[in-house]
């Protein structure tokens, strides 16, 4: 099962965070999937809107899956995480699709 799903229905791109067992807590790969989708649909004139939703009906997204933080060994790891999140949020914010 994929943790993030992308599909296009007509002129609408849909992204579903697909980890309902974890209240859609985001993995680093899921964050990268959002960046890739933003970059793909942004310049596509056939796409008029982008919907990001969470699977399972209990949560949109619980934030970052904190289990990934166990891999952090230095303060730089935490700083690199913040840079990554900033890059992801910027990609979403800069996507011209509502």
The pLDDT, as a whole number, for residue 90 is 98
- Determine the pLDDT at residue 37: 98
Amino acid 1: pLDDT: 76
Q: List strands edge to edge, sheet with 4-9.
A: 4-9, 12-17, 49-54
pLDDT one-digit tens code per residue, 5-64: 999 999 999 999 999 999 999 999 999 999 999 999 999 999 999 999 999 999 999 999
Cβ proximity of 4 and 18 under 8 Å:
yes
The residue among 77 and 1 whose pLDDT is bigger is 77
Model pTM above 0.85: yes
∠ at Cα 33 (75, 87), nearest 5°? 45
The whole-angstrom separation of Cα 3 and Cα 33 is 9
Report pLDDT for 53.
98
């Amino acid at each position: 099962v994929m943790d993030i799903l992308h599909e296009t229905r007509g002129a609408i791109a849909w992204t579903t965070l697909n980890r309902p067992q974890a209240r859609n807590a985001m993995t680093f790969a899921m964050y990268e999937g959002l960046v890739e989708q933003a970059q793909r649909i942004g310049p596509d004139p056939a796409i008029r809107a982008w919907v990001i939703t969470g699977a399972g009906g209990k949560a949109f997204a619980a934030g970052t899956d904190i289990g990934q933080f166990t891999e952090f060994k230095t303060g730089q790891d935490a700083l690199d995480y913040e840079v990554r999140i900033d890059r992801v949020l910027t990609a979403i914010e800069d996507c011209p699709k509502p």
